[in-house]
């Protein structure tokens, strides 16, 4: 069989719920092309469905390294970590933020917001102190910058300059959302 035929067979097996066959077909592709993104995704999804969460996470991480600007691997990681609950709260946070950044960079506001909303629900149910703190910082940014591409660029700047300026901004009471946005933009610009 060709790589394309094996990929089609893996996808068909996933759709049919035959996860064992999907694993075999994806591994055949990976034996000939170890960096095949779709084979990695199909293998990870099949492993996830078989509740082999550690192997699924490793495979999704490999896929995310080969295409870091594609959301599918990040969303797969979110799914794996979400299924494990509070045990993988911090890992879920990292994957969800990466997925949200991918959507923000693509200016896909709806999917970015959906990812943040799912993260919000997860953190409320399972979050650790680290994930709760970082999550609310991300949400604060997303709310302050309605254009998701701006939020993504500001997230990257804040990661490098630290969150202290943002914490100070949150403590101040603003008279209007417009002045708060302008003040935050100035604070972020000065942090560069």
pLDDT digits (tens, 9 = 90+) for 107-141: 888 888 888 888 878 877 876 555 555 555 555 55
Provide the whole-model pTM.
Answer: 0.69
Mind listing the pLDDT tens digit for each residue in 62-113?
Answer: 999 999 999 999 999 999 999 998 788 888 888 888 898 888 888 888 888 8
Find the helix or strand (DSSP H, E) in which 130 lies: helix 129-144
Per-residue CA distances from 177 to 80, 120, 143, 153, 173 (Å)? 37, 22, 10, 20, 10
Burial class (CB in 10 A: 0-12, 13-18, 19+), 174: middle
Helix (H, G, I), strand (E, B) or coil at 50: coil
Could you tell me if 188 and 165 are in contact, meaning their C-beta atoms sit under 8 angstroms apart?
yes
Mind listing the pLDDT tens digit for each residue in 3-13?
Answer: 899 999 999 99
Helix (H, G, I), strand (E, B) or coil at 135: helix
Rounded Cα distance, 150 and 105, in Å: 8
Rounded Cα distance, 44 and 21, in Å: 13
The token duo for 135 is: 């999550």
**Beta carbons within 8 Å of 22's beta carbon, 6+ residues apart:** 10, 11, 13, 14, 42, 43, 45, 46
């Amino acid at each position: 069989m060709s790589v394309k035929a094996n990929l089609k067979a893996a996808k068909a097996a996933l759709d049919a719920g035959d996860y064992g066959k999907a694993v075999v077909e994806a591994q055949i592709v990976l034996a000939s092309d170890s960096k095949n993104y779709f084979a990695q995704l199909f293998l990870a999804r099949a492993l996830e469905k078989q509740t082999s969460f550690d192997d699924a996470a490793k495979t999704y991480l490999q896929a995310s390294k080969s295409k870091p600007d594609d959301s599918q691997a990040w969303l797969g990681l979110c799914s794996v970590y979400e299924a494990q609950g509070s045990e993988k709260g911090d890992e879920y946070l990292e994957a969800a933020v990466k997925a949200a950044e991918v959507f923000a960079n693509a200016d896909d506001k709806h999917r970015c917001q959906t990812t943040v909303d799912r993260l919000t629900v997860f953190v409320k149910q399972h979050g650790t102190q680290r994930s709760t703190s970082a999550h609310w910082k991300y949400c604060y940014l997303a709310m302050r910058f309605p254009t998701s591409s701006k939020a993504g660029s500001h997230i990257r700047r804040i990661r490098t300059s630290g969150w202290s300026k943002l914490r100070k901004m949150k403590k101040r009471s603003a008279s209007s959302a417009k002045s708060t946005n302008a003040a935050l933009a100035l604070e972020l610009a000065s942090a560069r």
